[in-house]
């Protein structure tokens, strides 16, 4: 496939999970009231999505290596559509929890195949350039998600929010069917349990991979974890309406988009490693400001979203180089390597969400958990830098 087609399909599939989360977040407080349930139960629905997304990647990756990228993608998109329809028709919070789990399982294929097709066809600076472009689309899609979700909620009801996800799943399926060309030679032997375990052991035993995953778990994982806290902080603590929350979340994705566009302009002069160093410095700085802001400043919109913007701008500089570094040693099992990368970062987001639920107060959780995750990423980056210098 051409670079343009690879970028388009990679962006479309990679945004499947984040946009499914972003569209949903403005409806979370409304679901508490509509279903007569608790904030903790609705927060758990995001955690169920994370759990399904994280665990299913471990299956989606090897399946895409064994059956081919296209067949595996279509199978999992069908699962995603089933989960979305279950959510539309859900009569209780228990159905919502089950539907979000199924949705997460289906959406897991997106990030796995989106990265794998890039690794199948491109390496080095070319791969990093495509991943940065995918990052631009990744910012635009989820940026529109909370706004679109909030406007839909204001115009209709929470059922319509899940209908948007049905539409997105149908679009992804049609584009996969029409435009995705197979980029790997299918090999069913890759599904043999012994061979599968050897593959994951090989990937997990690589120190460069582990250090890169530590960075991604701390930064991208923090992005997922804070999604369980920000609706309740901004709506219940700061006082925004669901529609205002949806518009306000443009600051998060807008700064990711700004970072991606800026990187596109300066990456030739900076180079991938120096751009990543700039990014991780911003992530660490944003995390520290976030902790101090929550501890010493009464919450208002900029006190919450200002540090988030710094972190997401840095994340855009960081991701292309670190993702490329994580997958570089594994051209023969790119699907499995991508799956394990996604599993680790989503598990970090899932655990962050569980920790937030355990703390109880969303503002305290936000000011504690997210800074810890960002600083953990800084430690992982230092380790990755040392390994790359040694190599």
pLDDT at position 341 is 84
Mean pLDDT of the chain: 86
> What value does the mean pLDDT take over residues 306-327?
89
User: Can you read off the two tokens belonging to residue 168?
Assistant: 């997105």
The answer to the question of residue 83 being in a domain is yes
The answer to the question of residue 371 being in a domain is yes
Q: What is the DSSP string of 150-213?
A: HHHHHHS-HHHHHHHHHHHHHHHHHHHHHHPPP-S---GGGGSHHHHHHHHHHHHT-HHHHHHH
Residue-level length of the chain = 391
Confidence of residue 202 (pLDDT cuts 50, 70, 90): confident
The answer to the question of residue 186 being in a domain is no
Q: Give the span between the Cα atoms of 236 and 361, in whole angstroms.
A: 11
pLDDT at 151 over 90: no
More confident residue, 104 or 1: 104
> What value does the mean pLDDT take over residues 107-117?
87
pLDDT at 141 over 80: no
Q: At what angle do helices 207-226 and 334-359 cross, to 10 degrees?
A: 40
Confidence of residue 148 (pLDDT cuts 50, 70, 90): confident
Q: Are 225 and 349 in contact (CB under 8 A)?
A: yes
Q: Give the span between the Cα atoms of 151 and 50, in whole angstroms.
A: 25
Count of C-beta atoms within a 10 Å radius of residue 17: 28
Q: Give the span between the Cα atoms of 151 and 162, in whole angstroms.
A: 13
> What value does the mean pLDDT take over residues 176-193?
85
Based on the structure, what is the number of domains in the chain? Answer: 1
Confidence of residue 166 (pLDDT cuts 50, 70, 90): very high
The answer to the question of residue 324 being in a domain is yes
Q: Is 125 exposed, middle or buried (0-12, 13-18, 19+ CB in 10 A)?
A: middle
Alpha-carbon dihedral angle through residues 77, 78, 83, 84, given to the nearest 10 degrees: 70
Q: Report DSSP state, residue 235.
A: I
pLDDT digits 0-9 by tens, 54-97: 788 888 888 888 888 899 999 999 999 999 999 888 888 888 89
Domain around 71: 3-180+195-390
The answer to the question of residue 61 being in a domain is yes
The answer to the question of residue 188 being in a domain is no
pLDDT at position 135 is 72
- Domain containing residue 154: CATH number: 1.20.1250.20
pLDDT at position 347 is 82
The answer to the question of residue 124 being in a domain is yes
pLDDT at 325 over 80: yes
Mean pLDDT check: name the lowest of 110-114, 145-149, 156-160, 333-337.
145-149
Q: At what angle do helices 124-155 and 3-14 cross, to 10 degrees?
A: 40
């Amino acid at each position: 496939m051409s670079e343009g087609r690879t970028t388009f399909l990679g962006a479309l599939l990679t945004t499947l999970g984040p946009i499914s989360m972003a569209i949903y977040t403005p409806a979370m407080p409304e679901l508490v009231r509509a279903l007569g349930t608790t904030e903790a139960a609705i927060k758990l629905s995001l955690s169920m999505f994370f759990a399904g997304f994280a665990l299913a990647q471990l299956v989606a990756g090897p399946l895409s290596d064994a059956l081919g990228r296209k067949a595996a993608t279509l199978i999992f998109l069908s699962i995603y559509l089933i989960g979305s329809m279950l959510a539309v028709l859900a009569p209780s919070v228990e159905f919502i929890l089950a539907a979000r789990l199924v949705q997460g399982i289906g959406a897991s294929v997106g990030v796995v195949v989106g990265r794998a097709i890039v690794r199948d066809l491109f390496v080095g600076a070319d791969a990093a350039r495509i991943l940065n472009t995918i990052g631009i689309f990744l910012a635009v899609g989820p940026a529109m998600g909370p706004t679109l979700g909030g406007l839909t909620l204001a115009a209709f009801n929470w059922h319509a929010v899940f209908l948007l996800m049905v539409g997105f799943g149908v679009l992804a399926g049609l584009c996969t069917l029409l435009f995705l060309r197979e980029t790997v030679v299918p090999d069913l032997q890759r599904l043999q349990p012994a061979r599968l375990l050897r593959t994951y052991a090989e990937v997990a035993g690589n120190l460069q991979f582990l250090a890169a995953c530590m960075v991604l778990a701390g930064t991208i994982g923090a992005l997922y974890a804070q999604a369980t806290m920000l609706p309740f902080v901004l709506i219940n603590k700061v006082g925004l309406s669901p529609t205002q929350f949806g518009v306000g979340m443009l600051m998060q994705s807008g700064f990711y988009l700004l970072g991606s566009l800026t990187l596109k302009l300066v990456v030739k002069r900076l180079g991938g490693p120096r751009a990543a160093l700039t990014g991780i410095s911003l992530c660490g700085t944003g995390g520290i400001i976030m902790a101090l802001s929550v501890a010493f400043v009464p919450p208002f919109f900029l006190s919450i979203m200002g540090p988030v913007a710094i972190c997401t701008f840095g994340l855009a500089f960081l991701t292309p180089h670190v993702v490329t570094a994580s997958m570089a040693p594994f051209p023969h099992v790119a699907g499995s390597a991508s799956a394990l990368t996604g599993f680790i970062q989503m598990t970090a987001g899932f655990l962050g969400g569980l920790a937030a639920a355990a703390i109880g107060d969303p503002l305290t959780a936000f000011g504690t958990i997210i800074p810890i995750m960002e600083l953990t990423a800084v430690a992982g980056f230092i380790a990755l830098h040392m390994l790359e210098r040694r190599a």
